Amino acid sequence: MLDFDTCNAARLRRDPAFDGKFFTAVRTTGIYCRPVCPVKHPHTENVGYYPTAAAAERAGYRPCLRCRPETAPFCAAWNGTRTTVERALKLIENGALDTGSVAELADRLGVGARHLSRLFSDHVGASPLQTAQTMRIGRAKRLLDDTTLSITEIAFKAGFGSVRRFNSAFLKLYGRSPSTIRRPRQ
């Protein structure tokens, strides 16, 4: 968190470089704002600063209806649905769909499975399952290139449920089996 003097100077200048970096809470009104808010400046002795909109709300302040601080840049709400997709991609990368379903992933994200599929279609251009499959194949390809693990070990480390599915996915994508893709060791 920035110090009081830095925040105060940025607020008084309405400096857009600090938008989303801190929030100004006004004790006399019970409202918190972004540093770029166009309202009349409150007296310095009546303000406090918070690092996030959530921190200001937890302290009992409500958002300004003019500058909409809960949608400030770098806030999850400001990024909108892209944030949900980014969170889903991180969970998929960490194996959420290797053992779970799209419905379970959607529940973890607080959305419905159909809505999650629509978001993936809009932002990624593929379904969550297709995305997970691509990530699994990418992990497997790196393991094939960089390790001497057996094909069975690679299949399971990459997130495939069986060697048969692993071989099938490689055959479908590359038209060859995983063992023929592996680079020969020098």
Write out the two tokens for 134: 């691509």
Active centre residues (catalytic): 33, 37, 64, 67
Closest CA to 62 of 32, 97, 105: 32
Specify the 3-state DSSP secondary structure of 167. Answer: helix
Alpha helices (H) in 94-127, listed in sequence order: 96-99, 102-109, 113-123
Sequence-ordered list of residues with C-beta below 8 angstroms from that of 59, at least 6 positions apart, any chain: 25, 48, 50
